[in-house]
Structure 1
Amino acid sequence: MSRSALLRRLAPMWVLVVVLLATVTGCQTQRIVCSPTDYTGCVVDEVRVTGNKAVPDSEFTSRMATAATGGSFEGVPLIGAIDTLTVQYERFDRFVLDRDLERVARIYRAKGYYDAVVRAGRVRRIDEHKPGNPDMSNTRLLVEIVVEEGEPVRVEKVNVSYQDQLRVDDPLLPLALLRARSVLGKDDIFTEEAYEAARNSIARTLTDRGYAYATVQPSANIDIKNRKATVTYTVALGPKCTFGKVSIVGLGGLPEWQVRPALGIEENEPYSTDTLENAQVALAELGVFGSISVEPVLDRNAQPLATKVPIMVRVQVAPLGTVRLGGGIELGDQVAARGIAGWQHRNATGALDRFSIDGRVRALAYPWRISTIGSTEGRVEFVPEFGVRVQYTLPFPGDPRAQLFAQSSVSYGIKQNHDPPDVLAEGQPVPVEILLEHSQGYQRKFFFSRLLLSLSHNLSFSNPFNLYFEESAASRILISYIDVYGQLDLRKNDANKYDRVRPTKGVMISTDVQVAGFIFGGDADDVRLKPEMRWYASLAKGFVLAGRVAMGFLYTNGYGFTLDDNLETAPLLCPGQEDPNVRDACRQQQQSPTVSKDVAILTKRGFFSGGPTSNRGYGFNEISPQRVVDDNGIKLLDPESVGGRTLWEASIEFRFPIRGSWTGTTFIDASDVTRGFGELRIDHPHISTGFGVNYETPVGPLRLDLGVRVPYLQVIGVSEVENCTNDTTGPEWNCPDYIVDEGEATDIFGLPMALSIAIGNAF
């Protein structure tokens, strides 16, 4: 046998030996060699900072070389091998600790605490040991750093001086610089961060006003004895400039006649850094570049300085054709396994036009949701769903910030906006539909993409069935409507850059106006209005207070009588439900088909609340007027939301960092949906509160929220809303009215709460 063949045969045995040794040693700690005199080389189990009030622990621990060991399974049989093989133990070194103390003192000086005293309080063993025992193998240390902060240095005065004379044609410049320097104000703590931020703010103000060569030289006179600081920023203006020639490099095969107008930079216009940054944002929104650089070409040594500044744009083209494949498990208001596949090209015909086609398949466990997975009450149906969507977008020739778009889709699955029951009773049908949708229109971005206006015409055709294409008594619906949408987005992140995904400050205001039917045809005639505002305030780095307010108004013409007429339930109930012939005969009586069509339109056009992006104490669409009899005349054990005419929602949440990519939220949500147009009920706030944890991913935070409905604050003064339907904890089915204002919300383990999982912030 050759040597190589022998090694191949022995390789599995060596792997087994290594695993067994790791498992055995997992029951013991790694061998540690440390000095019994000064603890050099011993494992650091914990580093503790005391006396610090102005500066949080994280400011120190992230910069210190002396760190705590992060193993979690040491000493645990079998899985202790994980630490044995993976954990790098942190060792104590007094020289390293001395340098760390200097780092901490330097951090305090940067924060304005020049009198701060930092010392090592003590280094002591925290493992179990007997005095005088020479065995140091299991030694674990606590390193304690004691801080005496003292009083901070505060700003006494901030001056701005000029090396060259102010221009008479810019009389508002001193006022603009006064606002810019306010980043560092009188009596503020003098921190290096604010000192530098004020310099950058002044420099940015100058370059935004056309002074392309402007420089700002900061200086600070610090009186440590009296704890006062006088700050001076010396400004060299230089000439006022305009934009010169714009050169673009790296386009490859992309059309320059589309890319150049997107920049929004015209030769001989006033120079502005803000214009350059917005040009970079506009190029990024085209979605075809992997890297973008928009920079001025400044020759500071030229005499005289050129007042016409050339601009160099360098881009790198990203892959234009992409394929998407994916799948996963969906847990939330629905439980499903899903798969997606798609293809898109970002320059389909050479005009920066985008074509995409996407397909999805899903296997839905109906009516399970995350709070009822595995429930043996009632029955479970596995519903197959599929859908295909085709989308085309064409930047308007010569104006790529304007776009023409068209989108079509076809899908089969659970009815849109359907509120699934908690329990699916025997004989109760599962409502599905074939849904055809088409949208085409025009949209334009203004003010450097901060303002979006859109006009579109939309068609939606629904053909309802019961599961497995069994005929349903529900009506086919065609809705045709014009949609006018406007959005002003001024949200920014901590770096003061516009950011829609992770905002920390600013506001976003939007309004959606829809007109359905009338001259546009279809089964619904109405006007639908939904304004919304979101705001964000940064309290400290990583700490954000955010809020949202939304309202909705639906004016209906020719439908909606089921919300108005207080229909009696009895005429809509059909006996002999197990016999389709008897049931169909029943459906022809009285007004049952008319009622079904009215409800079908309401579920498409009405307002709902509840779910991960609105009121998180409720499941999807659970807040709404609800019906107690389905389209087939069958009693519903869990009322079904049908939609309302008036909506209001309000939320406030506090976002804070936890560790690394993990963040947390605490929130309060409130909302209500009513039958009448303009009917606002202040005594039905449906208040819920709770907390959530988020994990940052490349596409946004993966979010898990737990919302709890507050007793007596769903309907003011009522501990628990009574339910007229047949429920295991409620009365027998006794619903005289077809529509009820309140249904039964989702519970978890019998508690009034809801759990939701989603991608992206709630707002």
Structure 2
Amino acid sequence: MPLVAGKIPSPKARTAVRAFLFVAELTLLLPLSLACHQIPEGRTAIESVTISGTSGREEKEIRDGIATREPARLLGVLPTGFVYDYELFDEATLERDLARVERQLRRRGYYEAKVRAARVIVEGEDRVKVEIEVDKGPLVLVRKVETNGLSGLPFDAASRALEVNPLRAGDPFDEDVYEEAESDVSNALADYGYAYVRTQGTAKVDLAEHAAIVTLTVSPGPRAVYGDIKIEGLEELPEGPIRRTLGLRPGARYSRKDLEQARAALFDLGVFSKVEVIPDLKDPSVTEIPISVRVTEAPQRSVTAGVGATLDVLRLGVNGRLGWTHRNFLGGLRELSVSTRPGLTFFPTRITNWEDWNAPTAIFAENALLISLEQPSFLEGRTRGFVDVGYNVYPLLYPLADSSSPESERVIGYNELTFSLGVRRTFFSRLMPTSLSMNWRSNFPFTYQGYLSDICDSDDPGDHCGLDDVLVAYPELLTDFDLRDDPISPTKGLFLSNSLQVAIPALGGQLEDIRIRPEARFFVPLDYGRRLILASRATVGFVFPQNYGTALQGAVADPTSVDVVRDQHRLLFRAFYSGGPQSNRGYPYQRIGPQGPIGFLLPENQRCTGALDAQPTECLRPLGGFSLWEASVELRYRIAGPWGAVLFVDASNVTEELFTFDFMAPHISVGPGLRYQSPVGPIRVDLGMRVPGLQRLGDTDSDFPDISEIAPYNSQNWYDGLVLHVLIGEAY
């Protein structure tokens, strides 16, 4: 939800930027300065802790496991005591830490590890440096792994137990891995019905040979099935849909994994604040395991409300938000939600008018209404059916020409109706959310001011000059594969997604195309405490149109002709664009791509015909394209508490060619950002800057101008390339 996103003009806007940065600096530094800490009288602070003789993961584990710690520094630079408290030195604590160091290294297979020296160096009156020198000694390796007790088990169960064992001959004898082996083997057999399985490990370590022989003894017990399944804690909710979602039936083979998936499926219904699925394993002789499902109902009805504002290169607007949700509508756990976002746009007030601020000459009303109904246990227990109905009304806004009169500008708006009908389900233990839906989208143009007939200078007020209604009907398959540790603020993992749409006229639409957009995101922690995260994102997009797109086959002689207007109007709803706070942060929203005159958006008092390079800048708008690529890298640092900072590099381009990428115009943007973890999600402030010389690297075969060739985006002044974004939610 963008709050601010726009180009910062010069020179007055540069003053505004400096003022903003000054206020931001005061906002950050004032509370930090008040949080300065002092060294208690008579105590000594630790200046640094140096550990030699080990490195990498081992050193990080040692540092995290001892109480004699290095002081934390804000961003690794600001001095101790500025934000974080001092770490105080204690001799007895250091003695205990030296024993911890040896124990930690022994857990990693260094059974002869010794702390050779520990030095405390006095630095001034109240500070010391601590140096710890370690001799790890030789590493103990696993010589042999034996697993007993599997001979009487079915082949598939025994094979799985051997497969999940992480211990292998030749590996370091790591005690954590040894303990994981016991639990992994037990869990694997528990998924094959052995509810009472126990695995006992023994290890013989030969220090002379620096080798270990590991024996795992498995006691599988009897094979079990589910017995009676009781659901406890229901008050208002019906039991039938909950049992179907649970997906467990008496007599089915016992599986620890199935029990966990059942618990997750119930929690995903959104109607419980707590879910427990507990097998009764008290008596090992019982082969029909009773299952207790204990739930705590959450409130079934909720209301949300809020207000917001938008100030960017396109508009100044205010909006409200009101939502109502019933999670057991008419029984059966049906979830009905209604939300509306009414708003007002004050035209033509916007950021680009700072140098010559214009008061509003008109107020445009807008709204976004969505009604959604979901039915759990649709078709089968874990599948949800849904129906979404939406109605939106909004203006289509673009930057105004300097010479234009806001009162005479034609402003087009849309009444938009949407309808979606589909199913969604998660697969592979919630790792792969998938939805399949049928969608209809209808857009009916009108004017907030002016007349559609003015597009082609028609005398008939009812003539839309090719700006006809657009109806798109398409099935859509959405698939995700989510291995992130946190969906809101991830620090590690992988996220893959893809959207596949096929617009088919036979289903009631006008357009025919195939639209594909896969995306990949990676998150890698760069330090053991996960304070520094490397995040990256890459996406591509392709549109294969069948009955539109001729307006992108070259410069058009008359952009106001009916055929051109109709084709460009269809592109508006199906083509790709790039730029903005979720894309390339060095550019305003959807500004990157082939540029040219759009017949129904021509500015007043401008002649937008002839060669594209000879037309006024105000005539050139983003036309959209059929091939998209975007890439981004972020370095995220958690400063303290809810505060964080980022450095980012974004690049992207859109071309009019089918299945063609143009990397000669990467539109590279860089910049810093701030993050604040609020209860509604991360609030972020990003300041993007277009890097001079890295917007376009050479000539291309495009018939259309690139955005970097058009004023003011062709400026080589770094301050003309600043774009400020303030939003809720991470960029990705």
TM-score range, shorter chain: 0.7 to 0.9
| Structure 1 residues 515-534: aligned runs within 5 Å | 515-521=503-509, 524-534=510-520
Alignment of 1:512 with 2:474, yes or no, is no
Listed one character per residue, the Cα deviations across residues 358-406 of structure 1 (whole Å, up to 9, x for unaligned) are 233456687898xx68842675759665424232323155745334433
Name the stretch that deviates more: 230-239 or 650-659.
Answer: 650-659
Q: Secondary structure at the match of 1:49?
A: strand
Give the deviation of 1:284 after TM superposition.
1.7
Quickly say closer, same or farther: Cα 1:665–1:289, change in 2 above 3 A.
Answer: same
Alignment of 1:260 with 2:243, yes or no, is yes
Aligned length: 659
| Structure 1 residues 633-648: aligned runs within 5 Å | 633-634=602-603, 635=606, 637=617, 639-648=620-629
CA distance in 2, matches of 1:545, 1:149: 36
Give the deviation of 1:27 after TM superposition.
13
Q: 2:387 aligns with which of 406, 419, 424?
A: 406
CA distance in 2, matches of 1:158, 1:713: 57
| Structure 1 residues 239-278: aligned runs within 5 Å | 239-278=222-261
Listed one character per residue, the Cα deviations across residues 114-172 of structure 1 (whole Å, up to 9, x for unaligned) are 4142754224244xxxxxxxxxxxx53134232325356343235242246432xx213
Listed one character per residue, the Cα deviations across residues 197-216 of structure 1 (whole Å, up to 9, x for unaligned) are 33332222222222221122
Give the deviation of 1:26 after TM superposition.
8.7
Quickly say closer, same or farther: Cα 1:28–1:618, change in 2 above 3 A.
Answer: closer
Q: Secondary structure at the match of 1:281?
A: helix
Listed one character per residue, the Cα deviations across residues 159-206 of structure 1 (whole Å, up to 9, x for unaligned) are 242246432xx2133432333123x44444443333333333222222
Q: Secondary structure at the match of 2:99?
A: helix
CA distance in 1, matches of 2:379, 2:669: 50
Q: 1:437 aligns with which of 417, 420, 426?
A: 417
Alignment of 1:421 with 2:399, yes or no, is yes
Alignment of 1:554 with 2:535, yes or no, is no
Matched residue, 2:568? 599
CA distance in 2, matches of 1:326, 1:493: 30
| Structure 1 residues 132-281: aligned runs within 5 Å | 139-151=125-137, 153-163=139-149, 165-167=151-153, 170-182=154-166, 184-224=167-207, 226-281=209-264
2:306 partner letter: G
Give the deviation of 1:54 after TM superposition.
2.7
Q: Secondary structure at the match of 1:631?
A: helix
Contact 2:49 2:70 in 1 (8 A): no
Which runs of 5 or more structure 1 residues have no equivalent in the other structure? 1-22, 35-41, 73-82, 127-138, 573-590, 732-742
Contact 1:669 1:688 in 2 (8 A): yes
Listed one character per residue, the Cα deviations across residues 223-244 of structure 1 (whole Å, up to 9, x for unaligned) are 4455444333222222222222
Which runs of 5 or more structure 2 residues have no equivalent in the other structure? 1-30, 75-80, 456-463, 607-615
Listed one character per residue, the Cα deviations across residues 629-684 of structure 1 (whole Å, up to 9, x for unaligned) are 56364246353223223334455667676666666766665543222444444544
Alignment of 1:465 with 2:465, yes or no, is no
Quickly say closer, same or farther: Cα 1:186–1:654, change in 2 above 3 A.
Answer: farther
Q: Secondary structure at the match of 2:482?
A: coil
Matched residue, 1:54? 56
Listed one character per residue, the Cα deviations across residues 521-560 of structure 1 (whole Å, up to 9, x for unaligned) are 4xx4222321414264767764666553432213141x43
Matched residue, 1:33? 41
Alignment of 1:100 with 2:97, yes or no, is yes
CA distance in 2, matches of 1:118, 1:621: 62
Listed one character per residue, the Cα deviations across residues 433-469 of structure 1 (whole Å, up to 9, x for unaligned) are 2433221302142645535232223232233434xx4
Matched residue, 2:458? none
Quickly say closer, same or farther: Cα 1:756–1:88, change in 2 above 3 A.
Answer: closer
1:97 partner letter: L
Greater RCO between the two (CA within 8 Å, min separation 6)? 2
Larger radius of gyration: 1
Q: Secondary structure at the match of 1:211?
A: coil
Quickly say closer, same or farther: Cα 1:214–1:278, change in 2 above 3 A.
Answer: same
Give the deviation of 1:748 after TM superposition.
8.8
1:674 partner letter: T
Contact 2:595 2:705 in 1 (8 A): no
1:245 partner letter: D
Matched residue, 1:481? 472
Q: Secondary structure at the match of 2:235?
A: coil
2:279 partner letter: P
Q: Secondary structure at the match of 1:46?
A: strand
Listed one character per residue, the Cα deviations across residues 666-708 of structure 1 (whole Å, up to 9, x for unaligned) are 6665543222444444544545566766555566544555666
Listed one character per residue, the Cα deviations across residues 271-329 of structure 1 (whole Å, up to 9, x for unaligned) are 22221121122112211110111122213x44xx2222222111111111112123456
2:405 partner letter: G
Root-mean-square deviation over aligned CA pairs: 4.4
Give the deviation of 1:262 after TM superposition.
0.7
Q: Secondary structure at the match of 1:376?
A: coil
Name the stretch that deviates more: 275-284 or 147-156.
Answer: 147-156
Matched residue, 1:345? 326
Q: Secondary structure at the match of 1:204?
A: helix
CA distance in 1, matches of 2:38, 2:665: 62
Matched residue, 2:45? 44
CA distance in 1, matches of 2:717, 2:293: 56
Contact 1:608 1:622 in 2 (8 A): yes
TM-score w.r.t. the length of structure 2 is 0.76
CA distance in 2, matches of 1:314, 1:226: 53
CA distance in 2, matches of 1:564, 1:321: 53
Q: 2:271 aligns with which of 265, 274, 288?
A: 288
CA distance in 1, matches of 2:36, 2:500: 65
Q: Secondary structure at the match of 1:200?
A: helix
Alignment of 1:394 with 2:380, yes or no, is no
CA distance in 2, matches of 1:234, 1:622: 65
Listed one character per residue, the Cα deviations across residues 73-129 of structure 1 (whole Å, up to 9, x for unaligned) are xxxxxxxxxx99x98765443223323333344443344444142754224244xxx
Contact 1:712 1:718 in 2 (8 A): no
Q: Secondary structure at the match of 1:172?
A: helix
Contact 1:608 1:621 in 2 (8 A): yes
Q: Secondary structure at the match of 1:601?
A: helix
Name the stretch that deviates more: 664-673 or 248-257.
Answer: 664-673
CA distance in 2, matches of 1:508, 1:615: 20
CA distance in 2, matches of 1:291, 1:618: 45
Contact 1:549 1:651 in 2 (8 A): no
Matched residue, 2:459? none
Contact 2:575 2:626 in 1 (8 A): yes
CA distance in 2, matches of 1:367, 1:226: 82
Q: Secondary structure at the match of 1:197?
A: helix
Contact 1:412 1:432 in 2 (8 A): no
Matched residue, 1:453? 435
Contact 1:101 1:119 in 2 (8 A): no
